């Protein structure tokens, strides 16, 4: 396995972080977020909504941050010199944790009816948000529309996680843990620092990505294929290049330009993609199988165009299995095997099928998405996914809500590089 040139995690020392706290039970975790940010060397200032003060006192967060906590847009002393504008300019990044459904809705509509929403509207800094609400509220179509719009507006969504909730329900909507929020903040600065593709150095990790569909010929004019546009795989390749990696993209037939800084290898069939993958994988540090590979191909393609006949209403085709590219890469011997990330497009029981595929194919990480959701997946610019990855003791997971594929790609690359870094360091 090729060595990793740099860790995706970088120091937050000296960064100025504005933490927004809204009115959710998860506000008690905001104290730990402040503590972790301070331990990382950040300057932290806290802004609370009126409702947040019912769950945790400003005095607690003031003691931990070492700075006065702002709670009102109409504070005569603080606003003597347009303090909210100065605070907006001060922040290197804004993080809201927890973010209620109400606050998310107000942000989407550009409301500026309290100090926190006004700061968000007045700031040009990167913005991260950690939703926290009841599972039914999170699943509501209005909330899903709002978080999708936030992502489109440039907000980075952190979580939410799934599990037991304070109300007794079980499901998605729990705020991500403080350590996960710290990691997301750190990663946001990594992404910012490597936002433009750079020329990869000789020591940069080699990342191989498969993308798009395959075409399996039935005759000279017909073939078996699927609806994959290749957008997700191309976004992954672009993001890996932006992180400084040396990237090879093995692409099926798509109508997309090659991302800057990426080497592209065009293939058509599953057998061709399999051959290219096994050739390149032993040279790679990270292999991402994002292509929608046809499961079957014709046992033998007809030499001439198949003709419709008047005496038969059916056509019988004999199909044979295509090679399992991702499983064969994962089965490579130690020393030749990269860190392997697979993708799973499912229409039901997403987590169960993803867990099964992760174990059955011997993958290190899997990204599963529900392609039955309208506006997500094949052909769309947006996606939502469940990330599952192995640790020495158990499997961990992260729910990624609907968001642009470019943003999801950044999340996948960051998590994959982090796990690769941990393996390389022996952690």
What pLDDT, in 10s, does the model give residues 322-356?
999 999 999 999 889 999 999 987 777 888 889 99
- Report the pLDDT value the prediction gives residue 405, as an integer from 0 to 100: 81
pLDDT(48) > 70: yes
Lowest mean pLDDT among 126-135, 140-149, 185-194, 297-306: 185-194
- Report the pLDDT value the prediction gives residue 421, as an integer from 0 to 100: 81
Distance CA 118, CA 111 (A): 7
Q: pTM for this one?
A: 0.57
Distance CA 184, CA 57 (A): 25
**Residue 42 annotated in active site:** no
Closest CA to 221 of 130, 303, 138: 303
Identify which of 45-54, 216-225, 233-242, 382-391 has the greatest average pLDDT.
45-54
pLDDT(83) > 70: no
pLDDT(79) > 70: no
Q: Are 116 and 103 in contact (CB under 8 A)?
A: yes
Q: Are 133 and 100 in contact (CB under 8 A)?
A: yes
**In which band, very low, low, confident or very high, does the pLDDT at 248 lie, cut at 50, 70 and 90?**
very high
- Report the pLDDT value the prediction gives residue 364, as an integer from 0 to 100: 95
- Report the pLDDT value the prediction gives residue 300, as an integer from 0 to 100: 87
pLDDT(182) > 80: yes
Question: Mean pLDDT across the chain, nearest whole number?
Answer: 85
74's tokens: 């109409």
**In which band, very low, low, confident or very high, does the pLDDT at 9 lie, cut at 50, 70 and 90?**
very low
| pLDDT tens track for 368-380 | 987 777 666 565 6
pLDDT(8) > 50: no
Going from the N-terminus, what domains does the chain have, and what CATH number goes with each? Answer: 16-193 (3.40.50.1950), 206-425 (3.40.50.10300)
Lowest mean pLDDT among 7-21, 28-42, 151-165: 7-21
């Amino acid at each position: 396995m090729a060595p990793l040139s740099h860790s995706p995690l970088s120091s937050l020392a000296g960064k100025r972080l504005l933490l927004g706290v809204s009115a959710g039970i998860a506000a008690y975790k905001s104290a730990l977020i402040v503590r972790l940010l301070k331990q990382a060397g950040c300057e932290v200032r806290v802004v609370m909504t009126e409702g947040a003060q019912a769950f945790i006192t400003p005095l607690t967060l003031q003691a931990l941050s070492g700075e006065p906590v702002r709670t009102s847009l109409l504070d005569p002393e603080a606003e003597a010199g347009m303090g909210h504008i100065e605070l907006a300019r001060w922040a290197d990044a804004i993080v809201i944790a927890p973010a209620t459904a109400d606050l998310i809705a107000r942000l989407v509509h550009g409301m500026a009816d309290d100090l926190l929403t006004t700061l968000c509207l007045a700031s040009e800094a990167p913005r991260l948000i950690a939703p926290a609400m009841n599972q039914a509220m999170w699943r509501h179509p209005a909330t899903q529309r709002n978080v999708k719009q936030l992502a489109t507006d440039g907000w980075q969504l952190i979580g939410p996680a799934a599990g037991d909730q304070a109300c007794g329900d079980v499901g998605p909507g729990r705020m991500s843990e403080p350590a996960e929020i710290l990691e997301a903040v750190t990663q946001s600065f990594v992404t910012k620092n490597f936002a433009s593709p750079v020329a990869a150095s000789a020591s940069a990790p080699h990342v191989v990505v498969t993308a798009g569909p395959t075409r399996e010929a039935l005759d000279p004019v017909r073939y078996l294929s699927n609806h994959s546009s290749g957008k997700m795989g191309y976004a992954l390749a672009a993001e890996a290049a932006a992180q400084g990696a040396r990237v090879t993209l093995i692409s099926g037939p798509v109508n997309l330009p090659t991302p800057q800084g990426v080497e592209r290898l065009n293939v058509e069939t599953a057998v061709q993609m399999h051959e290219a993958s096994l050739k390149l994988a032993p040279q790679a540090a990270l292999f991402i199988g994002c292509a929608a590979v046809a499961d079957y191909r014709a046992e033998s393609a007809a030499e001439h165009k198949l003709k419709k006949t008047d005496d038969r209403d059916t056509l019988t085709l004999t199909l044979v299995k295509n090679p399992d590219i991702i499983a064969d890469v994962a089965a490579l011997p130690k020393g030749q095997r990269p860190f392997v990330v697979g993708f799973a497009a499912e229409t039901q029981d997403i987590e169960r099928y993803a867990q099964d595929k992760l174990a059955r194919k011997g993958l290190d990480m899997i990204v599963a998405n529900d392609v039955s959701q309208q506006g997500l997946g094949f052909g769309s610019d947006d996606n939502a996914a469940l990330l599952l990855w192995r640790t020495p003791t158990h499997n961990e997971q992260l729910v990624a809500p609907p968001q642009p594929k470019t943003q999801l790609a950044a999340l996948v690359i960051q998590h994959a590089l982090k796990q690769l870094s941990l393996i390389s360091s022996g952690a």
